[in-house]
Amino acid sequence: MLKEAIQEVRVFAPATVANVACGYDVLGFAIDSPGDEIVVRHCEKPGLHITAISGDEGKLPKNPEKNTAGVAALDLLRHLGMTDRGIEMEIHKKMPFGSGLGSSAASAVAGAYAVNKLIGEPLSKKQLLPFAMAGEASADGAWHADNVGPCLLGGIVFIRSNDELDVAQLPAPKNLWAAVVHPDIEVLTKVAREILPKDIPLQNATQQIGNLGGLLCGIIQEDYGLISRSIHDVIAEPRRQKLIPEFYKAKRAALAAGALGFSISGAGPSVFALCEGEETAIKVGEAIAKVFSAIPLGNQVYVSRINPHGVHVVEEKKAKG
C-alpha cells in the first residue's frame, strides 16, 4: 500500500480563445466551459498508464508517449526523475476536436497539472508551462503558448516570446465577458496555418501592431471603447474566414447586438465576441447562433467571464494508512 498524502486527484482544464483577433500566437484567454477532466491515481505498477479515455470517439491513443496528456505528464516526470512512479490516468474529453478552443492544450495542461498535484506539487503552475507545451506540440507540431498559457494560468495571457516562454498575465476588466460559439464543423490547425500569407505588407504589420497595443492598453485600463477599436485582425482573419460558413454575416450580427468586437477563436471554426456585461454577451451569443442555425448548422454557445483560475482541482482523495 502506497503511503501518499493524496491517492487520487481529478482536475478540470478549461477551453481557451487564442489570438484574440490581433494577437496572433501571442494572446489568449480562458473561459469557464467547456473543458477536459483528467483523473490520476497512484498504482503499484511502475510507470504512467492511461487506463481509460472517454468522449474521444475512439480517436486518442492510450500509449502515453503518443497522447497529448501523457506526453506532458511524462515530460514532467522525466524532469523530476520520477518515471518509475506508478501512476494511472483517465482522460475525459469534454470539448470537440479541431474546434479552435484549445482542446489539445487543455489535455496537455490537465495531464501535467494533475500529476504535479498527485506527487506533492513540486513545481508551481508557471513552472509547468514547458511540460504542457511539449504535450500540445506533440499533437499539432506548433510551439505557441496562447492556448496553453491561459488554460494553465487563467485570465488573459500575453506571450512576449514563445521560444523563451516569456509570458505575462493581464488583469481582466471586471465586466468583460465573452460569447463563444462553436459551429459543428472541423477546421484543422494545419490547414488554417497553410492558408496564411507568407509575407505581410508593412502597412498591415503596422496596423496589426497598433491594434494589439491598443487592445492590451484597453484591457489594462478597463477602457471598453479602446478594446472595441482594437479588436481587428488584418492578417489571419481575411484568409481564414472562408473556412467558416457565413462568417461575416455572423460578425455583423454580433456587432449589431452590441459586441465590442468579433473574430475567430484560434484557428477556428469557433468564433468569439468580447462584450461589456453578461446581458450583452448572452444577446450576442444568441445572435451569432441564429446565423449558423439558419444555414442550417448546429452550434454550441458558451457565455463566460474571463476565467481567472485556469486549470484547477475538482476533487482529491486522501490516501489511507
16 classed as catalytic? no
Dihedral angle over CA of 105, 8, 121, 163, nearest 10: -10
Helices (H), the chain: 68-80, 103-118, 129-140, 148-153, 189-194, 202-221, 224-230, 237-240, 247-256, 278-293
Q: Which member of 136, 237, 276, 280 is catalytic?
A: 136
Enumerate residue ranges in the chain where pLDDT < 70. 1-4, 321
Mean pLDDT of the chain: 95
DSSP state of 62: S
Note the pLDDT of residue 321.
57
Note the pLDDT of residue 181.
98
Note the pLDDT of residue 77.
98
Note the pLDDT of residue 2.
42
Report yes or no: 253 and 288 within 8 Å, Cβ to Cβ.
yes
pTM over 0.75: yes
Note the pLDDT of residue 275.
98
Dihedral angle over CA of 297, 302, 303, 307, nearest 10: -150
189 classed as catalytic? yes
Helices (H) and strands (E) in the chain, counts: 10, 11
Q: Which member of 4, 83, 189, 246 is catalytic?
A: 189
